[in-house]
Structure 1
Amino acid sequence: METTTATVGGAILALFGGALLLWCAAEVRLRHRVRRRGRPAVATVVAEADAHGELDSAPLLSFATEPSTVGAQGVGAHTAHSSGTLAVEACELVLTRPRGHTPLRRPPRLVPGTSVRIAYDPRRPGLAVLAPEESGPRTVVADLLWTALGLGCLAAAALLLLVAA
């Protein structure tokens, strides 16, 4: 193999493997942060209105957020504070797909109408993840496989760069 080809191939594999490892770490960190600090909720799997959406492995979920005090905006029950000001407790209906759900096919248990437990970020309700017991051990296996692929690319890049040197 020519030195230039090995160097370029090694650089491309190193970039791909590094980006893949960063993406895996960011997704795992995001899921753990939302599960730890987010609010729990029960979501319903919604039927897809789009034929292309049915091909997505992550189900479309619908859930209502918990009430939060938001000044004078939002929809919900009005409450008076001890200071005499009027605030609104807003509930929002959210339609989103959970993050970190990366199987090749949608699990058969996630059919429209099924209830699943989730956690969502109260500041960004569209950011939701399945509860650990809902996602099951397959999520850990998928995380390990993506990590192994990233490490394999980095190892192949190191080998190619050693051959080129």
Structure 2
Amino acid sequence: MMLRLELGQLLDSLPERLALARSNRLPHHDFLEMLFADEVTRRDWASEQRRAKTAHQDPQTHLTAWNGSTAVTFDRELRVELTSLRFLADAYNVLIMGPAGAGKTFLANALGNIAVRRHHTVHTERADKLFKRLRGARLDGSYEDEMCKLHRVDLLILDLSRPGDYPDVVGG
């Protein structure tokens, strides 16, 4: 029956949850609430992973992973403003500039992951690859379709660096 309800993933954690419920003498309704909360968490995580993959985002790129040992610092107020994603609601663009190795790509991808977690559509691509794809689209007549796809995205992240430009930066 759990499979028909598409709750088959609950079967993996069911023995552990049953033991916990018995040891804590949980009422039936609390036990069911715990199981359903586990399933909601699992589905949210899986959905976030799928959206990040579709957006070409590294789901591990989060601002909490920022290496604080670098000499680069961010304006705290600006960081809070960017992570609020108000610029998306206000239809503003954001351009992140700085010297090589400053963390521009990392910051852009971390903002992309925040947007993915908040259910915005995101597309990340290196600019040279995008321009090559759009040139090809002009040749095969799919340019308008490609532009429509890009226009529908809530957050478009274009990385202007090219592989090999900055060999000391992971991911270029």
More strand by percentage: 1
Q: TM-score, normalised by structure 1?
A: 0.28
Kindly indicate whether structure 1 or structure 2 has the higher relative contact order, using CA contacts under 8 Å at least 6 residues apart. Answer: 1
